[in-house]
Amino acid sequence: MLNPAPRRPGRVCLNEDNNHFFCSHPESDMTDEGADRLVDAYARSKSLGALFFNPNVKRAHFPSRTWEAIHHGYDPDGPTDQPSLRWLPPERRDFSPGSARWWPHNIWRLEQRGVDLYGRWLARSRHHGIEGWLSVRMNDWHANDILDAYWHPDFWREHPEYWRRPYRYEWWTDRQYDYAQEAVRNHHLAFIGELFERFDCDGVELDWCRNPHGFRPGSEQAGLALLTDFMQTVRRMADAAAARTGHPVRVGIRVPEDPQTCRRMGFDVVAWIRRKLVDHVVASVFVNALSMDPPIESWLDETRPAGIPLGLAFMTGTFTPFHSAPGRKGCMPVTREMVRGAALAAYHRGVDRVYLFNYCYWEGGKADRTSELLDWMDELGDPARLAQLPRRHPIGYREVVAPGEPEASLLPQSFLNGPGAASRYGHGTATFCPVIGPAPANGQTATVILGFARDVEPPANPPDLEVRVNGIVCPPANDSGFPREFPELVDKRGVFSIPTGVLHNGRNAVECFSESRRGVIVWAEIAITGK
């Protein structure tokens, strides 16, 4: 193996998802050289500081001594209707590109060829001066409604008493593991301990956000002490690995973006930080909400005194402006401008790193967008560059909530008076406070963009609709320019020009008033053009 390069100072972390390599790459890539090529591709981004490799769902992605491997029971020469594949739609059982059969098949092929995939990836990361981590999904929920899916182990399938809600099934969360069960905790500690012993890594991340519900409703408070003891055991494992390898081996966590929500879900993250049980914290959304206004200062109050880097996770996929937004009409693909805005605002508030989850799907596959991904990563690692590029700061919502915790959605807001009015003042004024990071520089322009619901007559531009930012009136502007992507639930838009010098760093107040009391706002943002 080549000698390691000096450690990079890059501010971008990327999580290499659990099935991307196996499902998006051909069988010919299941070699030492194919493993190296994946890391080499990511390493072309100079902003990349850490790679997180995911070695499991509920089963392992390598020949583990503690867990069943995902290809357990799979026959590589067998028919498409063999038991391990029968749960899949027929079109996903063959060897066509992207087929779900590739997942267990390519892991089987790696084992047949003697490829130590995760050891190879970690060593290749070190060769490039990139931190190499293993990220353990602590409670993956995918296809929990399908008992014979090939990533479910016998341990889970045969013990419904280990499920979070064994008495009722409504959604995948109900069949997540219940960490109040000692057998569940020991099952995961055995696998984590194997990772520390088997692989020479810079750290092991416990991904509590995949997925975050880990106790039966009402048991979360009792779970606080159980998971703190669990984390103490993991800390001892990491320290033993450091003594054996002769270099620091860290413990990381990815958790919901609000520390109070974490505690209400059974994760006493503040205690973990204060007891020095963790070395790296990533606050994260789940899937449909970009982190536009997480409580970063609350995290920094704990992580800074402990000298722990704080990362903020961003997801590919969709952006939804509020929790009850209707289905596909309520969501839209996450845009590059949105991620720029969220990252820049987070850096401005003190976040150390940005963390990309599922962005690996851009590498390989049917449409290779690697160059675009690398350019985006380089942007996200350079706050000065971000500040010069077009960015969007839409109003979102806090996606992950604990059982019984109220949904945190600012939208929709109505101009109507009386019951049902969304006004914060009770006088028909809709108010939003986007966090934009640094104020626009010379040569940049800023606008307020409002989206109104379909089937509700929106207010007309003046005199019906008045928009102010930080108390200053914003005149109507042309809506033909940037940006143009909105969820389908947005019917008509109102665009208003923010006068130069009105925006300040950080949080800004947008007030919207309709004289006619018409319209329901389902989208609100501040958009800033590039220089």
3-state secondary structure string across 91-135: HHCCCCCCCCCHHHHHHHHHHHHCCCHHHHHHHHHHHCCCEEEEE
Look at residue 274 and tell me if it is in a domain: yes
Is residue 311 pLDDT above 90, yes or no? yes
CA-based radius of gyration for the chain? 24
Give 215-226 pLDDT, tens digit per residue.
999 999 999 999
- H-helix segments, 246-358: 259-264, 269-274, 296-306, 336-349
Measured distance CA(74)–CA(129) in Å, rounded: 37
Is residue 49 pLDDT above 50, yes or no? yes
Which pLDDT belongs to residue 324? 81
388 and 492 within one domain: no
User: Which of 330, 358, 392 is at the close of a domain?
Assistant: 392
Q: pLDDT confidence of 287, banded at 50, 70, 90?
A: confident
Which pLDDT belongs to residue 299? 97
Measured distance CA(210)–CA(257) in Å, rounded: 13
- DSSP string spanning 447-506? EEEEEEETTSPPPPTTTTEEEEETTEE--B---SSS-----TTEEEEEEEEEPTT---SS
Closest-CA residue to 14 (of 63, 59, 48): 48
Look at residue 3 and tell me if it is in a domain: no
Is residue 495 pLDDT above 90, yes or no? yes
Q: pLDDT confidence of 459, banded at 50, 70, 90?
A: confident
Q: Which has more pLDDT, 332 or 60?
A: 60
Q: Over the chain, what is the mean pLDDT?
A: 92
Give the residue numbers spanning the domain of 221.
12-392
Mean pLDDT computed over 190-202: 98
Is residue 263 pLDDT above 70, yes or no? yes
341 and 202 within one domain: yes
Measured distance CA(497)–CA(271) in Å, rounded: 46
54 and 190 within one domain: yes
The total number of structural domains in the chain stands at 2
Q: Which has more pLDDT, 365 or 90?
A: 90
Contacts of residue 86, defined as CB under 8 A and 6 or more positions apart, other chains included, come to 148
Mean pLDDT computed over 486-503: 93
434 and 322 within one domain: no
Q: State the number of CA atoms in the 13 A half-sphere of 248 facing the CB.
A: 7
Answer yes or no: are the C-beta atoms of 208 and 260 closer than 8 Å. no
197 and 64 within one domain: yes
422 and 378 within one domain: no
Six token digits for residue 155? 């341990």
User: Which of 334, 364, 392 is at the close of a domain?
Assistant: 392
Which pLDDT belongs to residue 8? 87
498 and 386 within one domain: no
Measured distance CA(409)–CA(392) in Å, rounded: 18
Q: State the number of CA atoms in the 13 A half-sphere of 238 facing the CB.
A: 23
Look at residue 477 and tell me if it is in a domain: yes
Find the CATH number of the domain harbouring 447: 2.60.120
Q: At what angle are helices 32-43 and 117-127 packed, to 10 degrees?
A: 40
425 and 383 within one domain: no
319 and 269 within one domain: yes
Q: At what angle are helices 336-349 and 296-306 packed, to 10 degrees?
A: 50
Look at residue 133 and tell me if it is in a domain: yes
Find the CATH number of the domain harbouring 256: 3.20.20.80
* Segment among 113-117, 127-131, 258-262, 476-480 with least mean pLDDT: 476-480
Q: Which amino acid is at 338?
A: M
Answer yes or no: are the C-beta atoms of 28 and 34 closer than 8 Å. yes
475-513 exposure pattern, b = at least 16 Cβ within 10 A, e = fewer: eebeeeeebeebbebbbeebbbbbeeebbeeeebebbbb
Measured distance CA(161)–CA(181) in Å, rounded: 9
Which pLDDT belongs to residue 365? 54
Mean pLDDT computed over 370-396: 94
Is residue 423 pLDDT above 50, yes or no? no
Q: pLDDT confidence of 366, banded at 50, 70, 90?
A: low
Q: pLDDT confidence of 426, banded at 50, 70, 90?
A: very low
Look at residue 400 and tell me if it is in a domain: no
Helix (H) or strand (E) holding 187: helix 182-198
Is residue 440 pLDDT above 70, yes or no? yes
Give 338-355 pLDDT, tens digit per residue.
999 999 999 999 999 999
514 and 375 within one domain: no
Answer yes or no: are the C-beta atoms of 357 and 15 closer than 8 Å. yes
Six token digits for residue 407? 């949904």
Closest-CA residue to 173 (of 511, 467, 400): 400
Six token digits for residue 273? 């930080």
Measured distance CA(132)–CA(134) in Å, rounded: 7
Alpha-carbon distances, residue 469 vs 427, 441, 474, 494, 498 (angstroms): 18, 17, 7, 14, 7
Q: Which amino acid is at 455?
A: D
Q: At what angle are helices 220-245 and 182-198 packed, to 10 degrees?
A: 20
Measured distance CA(377)–CA(107) in Å, rounded: 28
- DSSP string spanning 17-73? -TTHHHHHS-GGG-SHHHHHHHHHHHHT-TTEEEEEE--BSSSBSS--SSS-BTTTT
The percent of the chain in helix, strand and coil, each rounded to the nearest 5, is 30, 20, 50
Look at residue 349 and tell me if it is in a domain: yes
Look at residue 5 and tell me if it is in a domain: no
Which pLDDT belongs to residue 2? 54
**Quick count: other Cβ atoms within 10 Å of Cβ 362?**
20
Look at residue 403 and tell me if it is in a domain: no
User: Which of 392, 426, 442 is at the close of a domain?
Assistant: 392
Paired with 436 in beta bridges are none
Q: State the number of CA atoms in the 13 A half-sphere of 200 facing the CB.
A: 13
Q: What pTM does this model have?
A: 0.95
107 and 147 within one domain: yes
Measured distance CA(222)–CA(178) in Å, rounded: 12
Mean pLDDT computed over 435-449: 95
Measured distance CA(178)–CA(192) in Å, rounded: 17
Which pLDDT belongs to residue 456? 80
Contacts of residue 215, defined as CB under 8 A and 6 or more positions apart, other chains included, come to 164, 178, 179, 180, 222, 223, 265, 266
Is residue 94 pLDDT above 60, yes or no? yes
Alpha-carbon distances, residue 30 vs 26, 354, 410, 492 (angstroms): 7, 30, 47, 50
437 and 386 within one domain: no
14-30 exposure pattern, b = at least 16 Cβ within 10 A, e = fewer: bbbbbbbbbbbbeeebb
Give 136-180 pLDDT, tens digit per residue.
999 999 999 999 999 999 999 999 999 999 999 999 999 999 999
Q: pLDDT confidence of 464, banded at 50, 70, 90?
A: confident
